[in-house]
Amino acid sequence: MFIDTHAHIDMKSFKNDLEDVILRAKENNVSKIINISCDIDSIFNTLELVEQFDNIYGALGIHPHDSKDYCDDIEDRLIQWLKHKKILALGEIGLDYFKMYSPKETQINVFRRQLKIAKQMEKPVIIHCRDAYEDTYEILKEFDISNGVMHCYSGSAEFAKRFMDLGFYISFTGTITFRKGDLKALKIIPIDRLLLETDCPFMTPVPHRGKRNEPSYIPLIAEKIAKVLKLDIKEVEESTTENARRLFKGL
């Protein structure tokens, strides 16, 4: 079976056919989905999803875009919500210097605060990083964080090696089916450090590019990885599933 380790099926684009989306995932051998939150609304949505569906798990955190809204009250509630047995990680968190929806210093402060929680609660972290690789690496190294994944990786092969040296997994989305630059990093990742994700409804793989992404497309990403790494797709399936279970305890 496959596992979609990073989805946003609580978003409005899934409002009218969520059960069909989950059924299609199962029909395509995607048996489990981790829904990732970014803000307070998506945290509540994720908590509802994990209660409603047996095969849906969750991660809770405040995205760098929304770090300007972070406060002590949110932090206190986040700590309590993370105790839920189906909440497997803290995320997605990190730094985004591309869009800068929140000030840089605010992003860094909130990133540090959430890493401190992850460390104390022994939760893996799901890291969002865009145009902020050096700062992200240095902060993770400072906190001695080794239990996590660089999600939707689009950085260099060099930085991929540095994050793996910290102990991180690397995860790719459907962009590897159409963006050649991502393949440079993919080619140097050992199969035991890879995870699969859609990041749906975004990052839709070929041949569905331009349409809404969904978990049932995970095999398309696995097929591309198998082709690039010259592996059998069954090996990609088995290894990435084992990796996901190793990182996300209780999956």
DSSP secondary-structure letter at 174? G
Query: Which pLDDT score is estimated for 95?
Result: 98
CATH T-level topology, domain 2-247: TIM Barrel (3.20.20)
Closest listed residue to residue 231, CA positions, set 176, 184, 192: 192
Is 8 assigned to a binding site? yes
Is 192 assigned to a binding site? no
Query: Which pLDDT score is estimated for 181?
Result: 80
Sheet strands side by side (includes 169-172): 2-7, 30-36, 56-60, 87-96, 125-130, 148-150, 169-172, 194-196
State the Cα–Cα distance between residues 89 and 67, nearest whole angstrom: 18
The three state secondary structure string of 72-103 is HHHHHHHHHHCCCCCEEEEEEEEEECCCCCCC
Is 48 assigned to a binding site? no
**Residues constituting the chain:** 251
How do residues 174-183 score in pLDDT, each as one tens digit?
Answer: 999 998 888 9
Query: Which pLDDT score is estimated for 64?
Result: 98
Q: Model-level pTM?
A: 0.97
How do residues 44-80 score in pLDDT, each as one tens digit?
Answer: 999 999 999 999 999 999 999 999 999 999 999 999 9
Is 134 assigned to a binding site? no
Is residue 4 classed as helix, strand or coil in its secondary structure?
strand
Mean pLDDT of 100-125: 98
Is 208 assigned to a binding site? no
